[in-house]
Amino acid sequence: MVQQFATGAYLVLFSVSTLVLISLGLAVIFGLMRVINLAHGEFIMLGAYCCVFSVKAGMPLWAAFAVSALAIGVFGVFVERVIIRHLYGRLVDTLLATWGLSLFIVGAVTTFLGPQGQGIATDFGNISVGSLNLSVYNLILSAIALGMLAVTWVLARHTRFGLLIRGTMQNAEIASAMGVSPDRVYMVTFGFGSALAGLAGAVLVPLTGVSPTLGLAFVAKAFITVITGGQLPLIGTATASALFGTIDGILAYVYSSVVGEVGLLIVAVIVLRLLPSGITGRMRSGL
């Protein structure tokens, strides 16, 4: 009984962390810029490829994480300059254009790298706590997810740029009148969100491997989490991930991962019926 409970708690922790990992980048971009990046899954996939290639080139895993985050962040800035910038204020068109981008990236990666999967091996092993056998890497993943939340919070709360971003998010016109360039703020925000997506892909790749369609495995969950979380990226992602991670973890443990995902969707639809703009929709300030 205790063992089962502990196993359940461990799976829930893992499931919550994965959700935070895959949705934080999307949530930051959506919360601060009102832009839903439908190519988010592909950003994760590109991050995963980056990590695989870095490791195969002889880098240690930690360095590969950093390289992936940086590379996808730069890629995000590029995408923002070329596509997103022209579509501010046209929500539907941003959705459509990023959808096109998502197809384009999948097609391009398949063309250049082939449809087959790739992966990297890690040898972190397991540790035993009581009668419980825990994978060390899963614990590292949870720590990184928590770290991503913390770093985002510190950046937004305690740096000058975070202040500018929060100001722009609350009122772009007044921020602009105070001499802040919203254009640059959006560019950096999009880059930061993309970097989070790239890091997520890199952290996940030792567990999942990577193929051009890797993004598909995550997008459904990431979108539900962000939409149910609502406009505040940190509180929203944290609460929605906690809620869905618990449901998903338990259902997937008892039944199967598909049942977990269906359960997650049903709960999301019911939550949105009660709170149409998400869990944090009524909150005026915060992160």
Partner 1 sequence: MAQEFASDAALPPRPAWWAFVAISVIVLITLPWFVDISLQLSLSLAFVLSLLALSMSFLWGYVGILSFGQTVFYGLGGYCYALFAMNFGYTGWAMVVALALPALFGLVLGYFMIYGRISDIYLSVITLVVTLIFEKAIRSTSGPEYVVGSVRLNGQNGIPGVPGLQLPGMSEPLSIEGVFYLASMAMVVVYVGLRLLLTTPFGRILVGIRENERRMQLLGYDSRRYKLAAFVLSGAIAGLSGALYAVWGNFVAPEMFNLNQAAQVVIWVIVGGRSTLIGPIVGTGVIQSLTVWLGASGVGQVTLVLGFILMVFVLAFREGLLPTLGAAWRAIVGRSGAMRNARSGHHG
Instruction: Report whether 39 contacts 101 (CB < 8 A).
Output: yes
- The span from the CA of 113 to the CA of 118, in Å, is 10
- The span from the CA of 67 to the CA of 46, in Å, is 12
> 63: which residues sit within 8 A by CB, 6+ positions away?
54
Task: Name the residue nearer to partner 1 (CB basis): 100 or 147.
Answer: 100
Among 219, 243, 279, 287, binds partner 1 (CB under 8 A): 219
If one asks whether residue 207 binds partner 1 (CB under 8 A), the answer comes out as: no
If one asks whether residue 190 binds partner 1 (CB under 8 A), the answer comes out as: no
If one asks whether residue 89 binds partner 1 (CB under 8 A), the answer comes out as: no
If one asks whether residue 216 binds partner 1 (CB under 8 A), the answer comes out as: yes
Angle at 192 between CA 179 and CA 190, to 5 degrees: 65
Residue tagged 């790298």 (tokens): 113
Among 149, 199, 224, 234, binds partner 1 (CB under 8 A): 224
Least spacing, CB of residue 102 vs partner 1, in Å: 7
If one asks whether residue 19 binds partner 1 (CB under 8 A), the answer comes out as: no
β-bridge mates for residue 64, sequence order: none
If one asks whether residue 93 binds partner 1 (CB under 8 A), the answer comes out as: yes
Task: Name the residue nearer to partner 1 (CB basis): 155 or 250.
Answer: 250
H-helix or E-strand containing 102? helix 91-113
Residues 239-268 that bind partner 1 (CB under 8 A): 256, 258, 261-262, 265, 268
Instruction: Report whether 200 contacts 51 (CB < 8 A).
Output: no
- The span from the CA of 200 to the CA of 193, in Å, is 11
Task: Name the residue nearer to partner 1 (CB basis): 93 or 183.
Answer: 93
Task: Name the residue nearer to partner 1 (CB basis): 124 or 255.
Answer: 255
Q: Two tokens at 254?
A: 């008892």
If one asks whether residue 63 binds partner 1 (CB under 8 A), the answer comes out as: no
- The span from the CA of 195 to the CA of 179, in Å, is 27
What does the binding site for partner 1 look like in residue numbers (CB under 8 A)?
Answer: 36, 83, 86-87, 91-93, 95-97, 99-108, 110-111, 216, 219-220, 223-224, 227, 256, 258, 261-262, 265, 268-270, 272-274, 276-277
